[in-house]
Chains A and B, each alone.
Chain A
Amino acid sequence: MPLHLHDKETMRLEELSFQIREDIIDMLVEAGSGHSAGPLGMADIFTALYFHVLAHDPKKPDWPDRDRLILSNGHICPVRYVAMAHAGYFPKSWLMTLRKLGSALQGHPERLKLPGVETTSGPLGSGSSQAAGLAYVGLMDHAPWRVYCVMSDGELQAGQTWEAMLFAARNKLHNCTFIIDRNNIQIDGTTDEVMPLEPLAAKFEAFGMNVETCAGNDIRDFVAAIARAQAVTEKPTVILAETIPGYGVDFMEYDYAWHGIPPKTGDESRLALEQLRTLGGRIKSEHQ
């Protein structure tokens, strides 16, 4: 599939990404707990993945030739759930069940509960290894599918990530792309305060990775980075996607306090939804 994005398609995806953000707010308010900043910040990337990049079939989540999307930082699963619902994996109404007893939409994603999530994740640092294991088999079996692994920047502090990078580079897993949500926040503060990560690109390069950077809230820029990753055949690629945590809701943006909490019912969620529906006040909407 050619990855080049036309203007019309870009606009369609951008619009969709804001619908996904609205649904994230609605589902988090209903759940009463969960993470806000990461899912909002990653809405553009998940929109691009599910509606432009991935080879997948929502009606056949076990299709053997599908691309594998591993979500290592499982806590941002609301964005994946909403994107999957929009793609047709399950009815949108299920979004109301997030984090509730009996739900397929667990607080952190579980493979056995929800077909299509590929793996169970939450404890940070192990997604990259699983992605590398999948990619290794992909090359071993000359499979047509690719592996994408979404990771947070905070989880790069876990040593296991670097074990996976050694393995991926040594085995030239060029069918594997690690997408890092570089939003500079984690639970206790900014990554710079908690445990600095820079120079991040140089670290990955030193580990033998091809490194691409992009604006993670610019769908066209992200898709271009994916296209560059696909063109590299001797190394795995790390995409440092610079995102704005909480993107689309001004009082959440850049604020680490929104890492692990949902908006409150009432004014807070109303304001968030209003901002999202008007693209941050840039457009007038029939909802006003």
Chain B
Amino acid sequence: MAAILRGLNKAAHLVRDILSPEKVKRVPTRDGYGEGLVQAGAEDGRVVALCADLSESTRTLGFKKAFPERFVQLGVSEQSLASIAAGMALAGKIPFIASYACFSPGRNWEQIRTTIALNQANVKIAGAHAGVSVGPDGATHQMTEDIALMRVMPNMRVEVPCDFVETKKATMAIAKQQGPSYLRFAREKTPMFTTPKTPFRIGRAEVFRFGDDAAIIGAGPLIYQALVAAEILSREHGVETRVINAHSIKPLDEKTIVAAAKETGAIVTIEEAQAAGGLGGAVSELLGATLPVPIERMGMQDRFGESGEPNELMEAFGLSAPFVVKAVLRAIARKYGESVAAEPGYVTEAKARLADIQKAKIKEALARTPKKWN
């Protein structure tokens, strides 16, 4: 076995100075979908893009401009979106369907199940604006159940890339792969910390940071928070944390995850989605059946989101680096058999933080009430 190095994995080719905010560009993952889609369209004439009245915000617009004859506008009809795409796939096309994740697969899950998955239709489902970071739009538009919904479906693959670069790679990769896939991405600008040289293969997780005290297994832009947390843990607690980018939630890289459980004995999962049923669920199911170790599942703790600024929400729902630090320390404490609170500190403290921010924001807003309103 190769020697374990401390710190970042050089072979992951992450951006240099990854932890200095001024050096890391912030770009939305949805832009990666847009660029990847155009490239996939250029490489294969069978690729078509369908959209349900959201071509700009899902970044399907670039494809429409490049290949107008292969762009199909559906209007606000997500159920039909899934089934029309299935029909087009049966006639030999490679349809990409994009909408907000709350509508597709949120609204059209059964159509995806029957006409795409059971039918083995070669349709790619792009769920945009996923997670709570969509912000002010509120809970209706903050899709947090999609990973669980899609992961449970036979014949379906699930990809949750971590930044712009990886989303572009994932988009092109699923275009080349026969069969249905779900690709999840977000609206908000998030750190672009991987590079074109960062290894990417569907079904394989990448170790971004080495460490043997605990492992964080994550998917999506929150991987960046995990890397920040790992640095804090190393500097302030002398704890070395492995960080694993499990962008393929299905098929899951079981080998890498079981090895992490074996070598660290303490696991934290993190995703901008329900902590139940998604990546956390997948990892728990796998380790429960192979190598049970303490697992802390970070994500939405069985609650919906609400309106707010993305950065406030990430903090209010316990999804920023300081909370990840707490989760890792708790997993390690459990590994050594120490007693811990019934409700994890990262959950309790996030609740308190939510209440504080709510109070402050409302007070601030009310203070600006026009005098004429009396």
* Contact residues in A for B80 (Cβ distance below 8 Å): 129, 132, 160, 163-164, 167
* Contact residues in A for B74 (Cβ distance below 8 Å): 163, 167
* Contact residues in B for A166 (Cβ distance below 8 Å): 75, 77
C-alpha gap A70/B115 in the complex (Å):
12
Chain A nearest CB: distance from B75 CB in Å?
7
* Contact residues in A for B77 (Cβ distance below 8 Å): 160, 163, 166-167
Q: Which residue of the partner chain B has the closest CB to A165?
A: B80
Q: Which residue of the partner chain B has the closest CB to A70?
A: B87
Among B92, B110, B115, which residue has its beta carbon within 8 angstroms of that of A137? B92
Among B86, B93, B118, which residue has its beta carbon within 8 angstroms of that of A130? B86
A residues apposed to B, CB below 8 Å: 68, 70, 110-112, 118-123, 125-127, 129-138, 140-141, 143, 159-160, 163-164, 166-167
Chain A nearest CB: distance from B263 CB in Å?
41
Interface residues of chain A: helix, strand, loop or mixed (majority): helix
B residues apposed to A, CB below 8 Å: 69, 72, 74-75, 77, 79-80, 82-93, 95, 110-111, 114-115, 118-120
Interface residues of chain B: helix, strand, loop or mixed (majority): helix
Q: Which residue of the partner chain A has the closest CB to B50?
A: A133
Known: A159-B79, A166-B75. 12 other contacts (CB 8 A): A119-B119, A120-B114, A126-B83, A126-B86, A131-B87, A133-B85, A133-B88, A134-B88, A134-B90, A141-B91, A160-B77, A167-B80
Most A-side CB within 10 Å, residue of B84, B87, B95? B87
A133 near B91: Cβ-Cβ < 8 Å: yes
B119 near A133: Cβ-Cβ < 8 Å: no
Q: Which residue of the partner chain B has the closest CB to A125?
A: B79
Among B84, B110, B114, which residue has its beta carbon within 8 angstroms of that of A164? B84
C-alpha gap A131/B118 in the complex (Å):
17
B87 near A130: Cβ-Cβ < 8 Å: yes
C-alpha gap A118/B111 in the complex (Å):
16
Q: Which residue of the partner chain A has the closest CB to B116?
A: A120
Q: Which residue of the partner chain A has the closest CB to B119?
A: A120
B88 near A120: Cβ-Cβ < 8 Å: no
Chain B nearest CB: distance from A168 CB in Å?
10
* Contact residues in A for B110 (Cβ distance below 8 Å): 123
Among B69, B91, B95, which residue has its beta carbon within 8 angstroms of that of A138? B91
What are 15 A-B contacts with C-beta separation under 8 Å? A68-B90, A119-B90, A119-B119, A120-B119, A126-B79, A126-B115, A129-B80, A129-B83, A129-B86, A133-B84, A133-B95, A134-B91, A137-B88, A137-B93, A163-B74
Chain B nearest CB: distance from A42 CB in Å?
21
* Contact residues in A for B118 (Cβ distance below 8 Å): 110, 112, 120
Q: Which residue of the partner chain B has the closest CB to A134?
A: B87
A111 near B119: Cβ-Cβ < 8 Å: yes
Chain A nearest CB: distance from B237 CB in Å?
53
Among A122, A132, A160, which residue has its beta carbon within 8 angstroms of that of B111? A160
C-alpha gap A123/B75 in the complex (Å):
23
C-alpha gap A224/B149 in the complex (Å):
47
A136 near B88: Cβ-Cβ < 8 Å: yes
